[in-house]
Amino acid sequence: MSLQVVILAAGKGTRMRSSLPKVMQPLASRPLLAHVIAAARRLGAERPIVVYGHGGDVVQQAFAGQALDWVLQAEQKGTGHAVQVALPVLAPAGRTLILYGDVPLISVATLQRLIDAVPDENSLGLLTVHLPDPSGYGRIVRDHGRVVRIVEQKDASDSEKTITECNTGILCVPNRLLHAWLPALKNENAQGEYYLTDLIGMATSHGVPVTAVHPDTVWEVEGVNDKLQLATLERVWQRHQAEQLMRAGVTVLDPARLDVRGEISHGMDVQLDAGVILEGRVVLGDNVRVGAGCILKDCEIGAGTEIKPYSLVDSAVVGGNAQIGPFARLRPGSKLADEVHIGNFVETKATVMGVGAKANHLAYLGDSEIGARVNIGAGTITCNYDGANKHKTVIGDDAFIGTNNSLVAPVSIGAGATTGAGSTISKDVPAGVLAVARAVQKVIEGWQRPRKTPKA
Ligand code: UD1
Ligand code: CA
């Protein structure tokens, strides 16, 4: 049976106290809704349906260009009404999974079990969870063990309020039943809303069996209503990701101080020290060590390389057995070959460095091509910007750039050339020569240092 996914995201999220719509609030640096859409896609839904309301423009813009069907629920009349407005885009047959834009961590494994509980058009799957404190949730009413209906907290009798099996809100229903039953929902309840949960009672009266499925963990079904819950769920998710990395063989020195905000692939014996943040797509080869406080974003680090503490790597590729940092900054377009050494307070941008090239201290290398085994002296700057345009610096293999050079681009320095300390190199340097471009030292005899004027 084919699958459609409806994501309810029309809620205002007043308790966030934010100008950003609730489903746009970030968890692991992606909007809550993005997590839910990703789950829907992993289940095979080609065009997840998003029911939106408040802040719809911002939400739609954020997901522009993605295969999604947007359905406006202008007025919020309840969860049943929200799915009703989506009926025109639901096929006559197949089954539909209902998810929530503010329940971001629901796992694909749990949802697959729920979908599997709906093998035909005469079945219904409901995700329920036992909570020690069920207050606020709809309660699952069973009769002789079978789920017969859901009663909302506000409509529940005192004895129903003692039920601890709760409705997560997530359910899977054959489309045929949605088309037949949703238009018949009534809002005769304590909140005057059209309750999606009334579908369960309807299933019972039509003799359609309801299968209750449970999530593997409670946090999967937790919703986010305010910044405190957002932060709590962020920590839960970070802990979970750290655990997955550790199970996969990564040494995480402090799982409470690692943040993964993207997708990591890694080899064996990778070590991550405290305070590391990994963002976007990060690829770490065997034996990579990442020191304390490093931020690695959209990058590839080769086997055996060490990223020393407090380094930033953004959209860069680093080869194997390299040494980066401490306090290094690799900016977008940096491509460093094997065995490159980048030391403290060195910044690279759109720069290629050959095998074994070194810039160990205090340098800016931008828009440059640096050959193998080149040594960049401390304090060297590629002057890549003339105030209007950017220009390139090219340095041949085995060149030695003296300390505190200004390389005024466009400029090229030949293979094996040497430049003297303090040089301002504004003309090309041929291969193999020594170029010195600095004032000749003068000696001034009899010069006196200024003396302090005595106070009056
Ligand atoms: C709902 C369930 C309850 C369950 C709880 C789990 C119903 C009637 N009740 O209650 O059994 O235990 O979730 O959290 O379904 N939404 C819309 N349009 C609407 C109304 C809601 O899009 O008109 C969205 C909201 O943005 C929210 C979600 O649906 O993401 C749940 O709505 P909410 O009003 O919070 O339902 P609850 O009262 O918590
Ligand atoms: Ca709710």
- 421 found inside a domain: yes
**Residues known to be catalytic:** 361
Asked whether residue 61 falls in the same domain as residue 165, the answer is yes
- 10 found inside a domain: yes
pLDDT at 83: 98
Asked whether residue 322 falls in the same domain as residue 254, the answer is yes
The mean pLDDT values, 10 residues at a time, for the chain of 456 residues are 96 90 96 98 97 88 96 96 98 98 98 98 98 96 98 97 98 98 97 97 98 97 97 98 98 98 98 98 98 98 99 98 99 98 98 98 98 98 97 98 98 98 98 97 96 92
pLDDT at 11: 84
Asked whether residue 217 falls in the same domain as residue 169, the answer is yes
Spatial contact of 378 and 397, defined as CB atoms under 8 Å apart: no
3-state secondary structure of 134: coil
Per DSSP bridges, beta strands 26-27 and 30-31 are antiparallel
The CATH number that applies at residue 177 is 3.90.550.10
Which residue range forms the structural domain that includes residue 375? 242-435
The CATH number that applies at residue 273 is 2.160.10.10
Compute the chain's Rg from CA coordinates.
31
- 418 found inside a domain: yes
Distances from the Cα of 446 to the Cα of 7, 307, 440, 443, angstroms: 85, 52, 19, 10
Task: State the Cα torsion 151-155-159-163 to the nearest 10°.
Answer: 40
Give the number of domains in the chain.
2
**Which residue among 33, 49, 79 has the greatest number of ligand 1 atoms within 8 angstroms of its CB, and so is best to mutate?**
79
Query: Taking the complete model, does pTM exceed 0.95, yes or no?
Result: no
CA of 168 relative to ligand 2 center, distance in Å? 9
Asked whether residue 11 falls in the same domain as residue 123, the answer is yes
Spatial contact of 272 and 290, defined as CB atoms under 8 Å apart: yes
Q: Measured from the CA of 12, which atom of ligand 1 is nearest?
A: 26
CA of 215 relative to ligand 1 center, distance in Å? 18
Final residue before a domain boundary, out of 190, 221, 252: 221
pLDDT at 350: 98
pLDDT in tens, 348-373: 999 999 999 999 999 999 999 999 99
Asked whether residue 212 falls in the same domain as residue 269, the answer is no
* Reduced DSSP (H G I as helix, E B as strand, rest coil) percent helix, strand, coil of the chain, to 5: 20, 35, 45
- Of 203, 49, 190, the C-alpha closest to 117 is 203
Going by C-beta distance under 8 Å and a sequence separation of 6 or more, which residues neighbour residue 191?
A: 78, 152, 154
